[in-house]
């Protein structure tokens, strides 16, 4: 068994070795940030939600049974945090498209950066037009590369239903993106 596997680290956290949580944080902070950012499009709120998830991982550490993956368990916490945040901030849940460009990496050439910004902007706008449920499934499956089975466990949905929703959502996303591009 790998000494530094997620399960082993979580067992250490459960046994009082809280410093093991920092390794899990380092492993998953970018993935969680991307999940929140792709659903909210806001930097500060995404960072706050990542911190909130790891606070809850520590708080509810004894609820991790080890029967599933740590990643699935953590994303269940993240999904619940996202739902709570959206409910609390319903009036402000749609942020300006300009906020999305804040996290883009620097391109080597200025013209590449402009094209990249435009493409990112169009994709983010199209993603923002999808309903929250479909957007979340696409973010989990395609951007966070979670398995359909893990998403099914997390959401309580049927695996084949998720596949259909993701497929249809990607088709809609493609159509919206192409319409914006023309």
pLDDT of 98 higher than 70: no
CATH class of 1-93: mainly alpha
Residue 150 CA to residue 32 CA, distance in Å, equals 15
169/135 Cα distance (integer angstroms): 7
Q: State the span(s) of the chain assigned CATH 1.10.1740.10.
A: 1-93
pLDDT at 25 over 90: yes
* Proportion of the chain in helix, strand, coil states, percent, rounded to 5: 80, 0, 20
- Crossing angle, helix 43-59 and helix 70-88, to 10 degrees? 130
pLDDT class for 54, splitting at 50, 70, 90?
Answer: very high
In this structure, whether the domain defined by 106-182 belongs to CATH 1.10.10.10 is answered with yes
DSSP 158: -
Residues of the chain with CATH 1.10.10.10: 106-182
Does the pLDDT of residue 114 top 60, yes or no? no
59 close to 134: Cβ distance less than 8 angstroms? no
What pTM, to 2 d.p., does this model score? 0.61
């Amino acid at each position: 068994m790998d000494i530094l596997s997620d399960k082993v680290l979580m067992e250490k956290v459960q046994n009082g070795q809280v410093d093991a949580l920092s390794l899990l944080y380092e492993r998953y902070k970018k993935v969680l940030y991307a999940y929140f950012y792709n659903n909210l499009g806001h930097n500060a709120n995404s960072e706050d939600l990542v911190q909130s998830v790891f606070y809850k991982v520590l708080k509810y550490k004894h609820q991790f049974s080890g029967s599933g993956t740590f990643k699935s368990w953590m994303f269940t916490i993240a999904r619940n945090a996202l739902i709570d945040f959206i409910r609390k901030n319903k009036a402000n849940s749609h942020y300006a498209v300009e906020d999305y460009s804040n996290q883009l990496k620097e391109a080597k050439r200025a013209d590449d950066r402009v094209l990249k910004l435009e493409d990112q902007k169009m994709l983010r706008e199209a993603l923002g037009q999808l309903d929250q449920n479909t957007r979340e499934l696409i973010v989990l499956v395609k951007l966070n590369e979670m398995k359909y089975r893990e998403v099914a466990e997390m959401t309580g949905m049927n695996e084949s239903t998720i596949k259909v929703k993701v497929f249809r959502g990607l088709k809609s996303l493609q159509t919206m993106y192409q319409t914006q591009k023309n």
